[in-house]
């Protein structure tokens, strides 16, 4: 059980006069060391001012993720990848929910290195305003019990969230570390070794960035493949789906909607039907953040013998992300199916 001291619950991060970052409850300052930006994530790395990326002992990293995945999903994906590359790693969840994960791991046996703990990390992934935010403290080779207890409490408090650690504000006015840079080695062998060590220091972070990039592309591909999938039922037609315009009329045809869309139109030409035909349109939520399949709307249409098209719409104010399906049935027989996603 975590002992979250009341005095740390509202701790926050801010800049010192030297331009370094200070965190309430932590001893010392943090200097900005590296920043990487991809289409799916932004990673900011901080180290102690007296250290370097080639020989750091403490590292603080902040990652803003733009992938439509939950904090729990990202944490489990990170754990699985770490265990694959570092099979002797120990991983522990201190807090685990869909929107808030506090984890700890001690990596060992990575990339053919000698046995023993190479890195000890405590991190938290929460849902920020634009996507998941991961804030992590790492030490080499292992934290002392006192430091471990401090960072479990700090990251379990407000500091472990985007609000308590506003990295976008801090980096906007931050200066380079105040300590002078060490003199560069002159021997070619030393330079090569230094570059390799600096690369290895960020390799784990880069692996996570690459995995997030892959997940983003995979999510987009899955959404397109699902929405374009033809109905398996023999004799059914594909229902045309449209984004609603501001005036409520059907607009552009699409199968990929956003959470800002509040109206989805379904249109299916059916030709002539008997005057007493029983026409129904059923809307299903197939799966996603709201759980498994469920019927969410059912509409009965009094059929006009002069008509030749079934039209209906689904409206909502705050739709859940996930996969949806709409069906048109005539006299209990399914004649049309349409599939779409909301992201």
Condensed to tens digits (0 to 9), the pLDDT of residues 259-270 reads 888 899 999 999
Write down the pLDDT at residue 139.
94
Write down the pLDDT at residue 285.
92
Residue 207 reports pLDDT greater than 60: yes
User: For the chain, what percentages of helix, strand and coil (3-state, to nearest 5) are there?
Assistant: 25, 40, 35
CA angle 66–79–110, rounded 5-degree value: 115
Q: What is 92-142 written as a DSSP string?
A: EEEEE-SSEEEEEEEEESGGGPPSSEEEEEEEEEEE-SSSEEEEEEEESS-
What are 302's strand-pairing partners?
A: 278
Place of tokens 């709409």: 326
73 vs 158 pLDDT, higher one? 73
* Mean pLDDT of the region 138-160: 90
Residue 125 reports pLDDT greater than 90: yes
Distance of alpha carbon 318 from alpha carbon 98, whole angstroms: 19
Write down the pLDDT at residue 176.
42
For 78, phi then psi, to 5°, come to -60, -45
Which pLDDT band holds residue 235 (cuts at 50, 70, 90)?
A: low
* Mean pLDDT of the region 40-50: 89
146 vs 115 pLDDT, higher one? 146
Q: Which of 56-65, 164-173, 213-222 comes out lowest in average pLDDT?
A: 164-173
Indicate the pairing of strand 256-257 with strand 333-342. Answer: parallel
Which pLDDT band holds residue 306 (cuts at 50, 70, 90)?
A: confident
Q: Which stretches of the chain are assigned E, i.e. beta strand?
A: 13-15, 21-23, 29-37, 41-47, 58-65, 90-96, 100-108, 117-127, 132-139, 237-238, 240-244, 250-253, 256-257, 263-269, 278-288, 294-302, 309-315, 322-330, 333-342
Q: What is the mean pLDDT of the chain?
A: 79
For 39, other C-beta atoms within 10 Å of its C-beta total 10
* Mean pLDDT of the region 74-82: 88
Write down the pLDDT at residue 51.
92
Burial of 277 (0-12, 13-18, 19+ CB in 10 A): middle
* Mean pLDDT of the region 109-136: 81
Residue 226 reports pLDDT greater than 70: no
Burial of 310 (0-12, 13-18, 19+ CB in 10 A): buried
């Amino acid at each position: 059980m975590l002992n979250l001291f009341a005095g740390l619950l509202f701790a926050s991060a801010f800049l010192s006069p030297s331009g370094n970052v200070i965190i309430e409850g932590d001893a010392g300052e943090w200097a900005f060391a590296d920043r990487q930006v991809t289409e799916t994530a932004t990673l900011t790395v901080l180290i102690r001012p007296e250290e370097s990326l080639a020989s750091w002992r403490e590292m603080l990293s902040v990652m803003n993720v733009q992938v439509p995945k939950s904090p729990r999903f990202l944490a489990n994906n990170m754990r699985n990848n770490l265990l694959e590359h570092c099979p002797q790693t120990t991983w522990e969840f201190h807090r685990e929910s869909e929107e808030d994960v506090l984890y700890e791991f001690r990596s060992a046996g990575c990339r053919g290195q000698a046995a023993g703990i190479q890195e000890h990390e405590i991190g938290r992934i929460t849902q920020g305003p634009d996507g998941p935010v991961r804030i992590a403290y790492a030490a080499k080779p292992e934290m002392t019990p006192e430091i471990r207890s401090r960072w479990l409490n700090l990251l379990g408090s407000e500091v472990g969230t985007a609000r308590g650690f506003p990295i976008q504000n801090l980096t906007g006015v931050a200066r380079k570390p105040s300590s002078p840079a060490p003199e560069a080695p002159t021997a070619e062998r030393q330079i090569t070794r230094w570059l390799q060590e600096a690369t290895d220091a960020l390799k784990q972070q880069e692996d996570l960035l690459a995995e997030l990039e892959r997940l983003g592309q995979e999510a987009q591909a899955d959404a397109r493949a699902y929405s374009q999938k033809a109905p398996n039922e023999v004799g059914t037609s594909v229902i045309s789906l449209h984004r609603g315009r501001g005036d409520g009329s059907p607009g552009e045809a699409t199968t990929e909607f956003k959470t800002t869309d509040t109206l989805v139109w379904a249109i299916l030409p059916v030709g002539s039907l008997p005057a007493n035909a029983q026409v129904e349109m059923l809307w299903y939520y197939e799966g996603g953040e709201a759980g498994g399949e469920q019927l969410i709307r059912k509409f009965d249409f009094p059929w006009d013998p002069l008509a030749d098209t079934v039209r209906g719409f689904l409206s909502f104010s705050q739709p859940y992300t996930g996969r949806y399906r709409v069906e048109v049935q005539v006299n209990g027989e399914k004649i049309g199916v349409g599939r779409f996603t909301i992201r």
